[in-house]
Chain A
């Protein structure tokens, strides 16, 4: 009890017990360690390995990704889960990470723990992602696919027609047409453009 009281007193008025220099330096070091640890933990959750640590992701969306060009292609540049599903900007990233607490809930209560349950939720899950990409003008696509660097002479005529009009004017964004490029599509009844 006496020991606890001493700890509390020190905590309440540390400058009585420690020098100002020690406290400033100590606070700075503690801050560095905290911030470093926080970012390391954050980045650890931002890897594909972490994402497919749950069988829900590994057996459904990851397996589906494997057949697409974003997983394997001639030049070997590939997109991992967070490249498309987690914003790269810090503020947006933290916001997305907070929203992901819903996914922890889903994991605990087994919302999509079978293929059947996953397929039943597929439309809802897909719509979440379409809405997110529509709202941020397909930012995660554009992190790699830069409109200004597109060479229309190398695209096929159909692609040029679409990209030089609807995309160039900002009337449409990537996700409006390129749905289902990395995972299987849900039932598309009622989706505009289908």
Chain B
């Protein structure tokens, strides 16, 4: 009896191991590198940032506008905010950059402050640069205007 139990235990452990191994093998495909995670593949080149200074369409009204220029080395910390040296209210005349929207001056209770609100201080939390690359995973996002057109038909 004891021997039988032992055999069953070993057998079940083996089956488990095989199942786990096969599941892992399936999960181990990296869609970004297009290779198994265990494979040694060369890292893809770092794509170049789009810096044509051309405003891009927003995909929905509340979307934070994307940055059409390079931001390498821009400091945003307790001492200084490089972005605001062009985009702040009193700098846009000289820089001709778009001013940060009025929502950036609001605290969480909706009161307007004289300076940008601390909760909007870190620009890169919402605004990012863009690179001219193919999406890694298929994106099924549809513009709401297109959806409205479809529903009217």
Chain A interface (Cβ < 8 Å from any Cβ of B):
67-69, 122, 156-158, 161, 180-181, 184-188, 193-194
Interface of A is mostly: loop
Question: Are A193's CB and B91's CB within 8 A?
Answer: yes
Binds A, one of B26-34, B75-83, B125-133: B75-83
Question: Which residues of B lie under 8 Å from residue A158 when comparing CB positions?
Answer: 53, 69
Expressed in whole angstroms, the Cα–Cα distance for A67 and B53 within the complex equals: 25
Expressed in whole angstroms, the Cα–Cα distance for A193 and B93 within the complex equals: 11
The closest CB in chain A to the CB of B75 belongs to A185
Counting contact residues on chain B (CB < 8 A from A), the size range is 10 to 19
User: What are 5 A-B contacts defined by CB distance under 8 Å?
Assistant: A67-B73, A69-B72, A187-B80, A188-B79, A194-B80
Question: Are B73's CB and A188's CB within 8 A?
Answer: no
Chain B interface (Cβ < 8 Å from any Cβ of A):
51-53, 69, 72-73, 75, 79-80, 82, 84-85, 91, 94, 96
Question: Are B52's CB and A156's CB within 8 A?
Answer: yes
Expressed in whole angstroms, the Cα–Cα distance for A14 and B74 within the complex equals: 66
Question: Which residues of A lie under 8 Å from residue B79 when comparing CB positions?
Answer: 122, 184-188
Question: Are B53's CB and A68's CB within 8 A?
Answer: no
Expressed in whole angstroms, the Cα–Cα distance for A181 and B75 within the complex equals: 10
Question: Which residues of A lie under 8 Å from residue B96 when comparing CB positions?
Answer: 161
Question: Are B51's CB and A184's CB within 8 A?
Answer: no
Known A185-B82, A194-B80; further 20 A-B contacts with Cβ < 8 A:
A67-B73, A68-B73, A69-B72, A156-B51, A157-B52, A157-B53, A158-B53, A161-B96, A184-B75, A184-B79, A185-B75, A186-B79, A187-B79, A187-B80, A188-B79, A188-B80, A193-B91, A193-B94, A194-B84, A194-B85
Question: Are A156's CB and B80's CB within 8 A?
Answer: no
The closest CB in chain B to the CB of A186 belongs to B79
- Tell me, rounded to whole Å, the shortest Cβ–Cβ distance linking B34 to chain A: 26
Question: Are A186's CB and B80's CB within 8 A?
Answer: yes
Our pick among B53, B72, B75, B84 for the contact of A156 (Cβ within 8 Å) is: B53
- Tell me, rounded to whole Å, the shortest Cβ–Cβ distance linking B46 to chain A: 12
Question: Are B73's CB and A69's CB within 8 A?
Answer: yes
Expressed in whole angstroms, the Cα–Cα distance for A158 and B72 within the complex equals: 16
Expressed in whole angstroms, the Cα–Cα distance for A129 and B136 within the complex equals: 46
Our pick among A68, A157, A181, A193 for the contact of B85 (Cβ within 8 Å) is: A193
Question: Which residues of A lie under 8 Å from residue B75 when comparing CB positions?
Answer: 180, 184-185
Question: Which residues of A lie under 8 Å from residue B82 when comparing CB positions?
Answer: 180, 185
Question: Are B80's CB and A181's CB within 8 A?
Answer: no
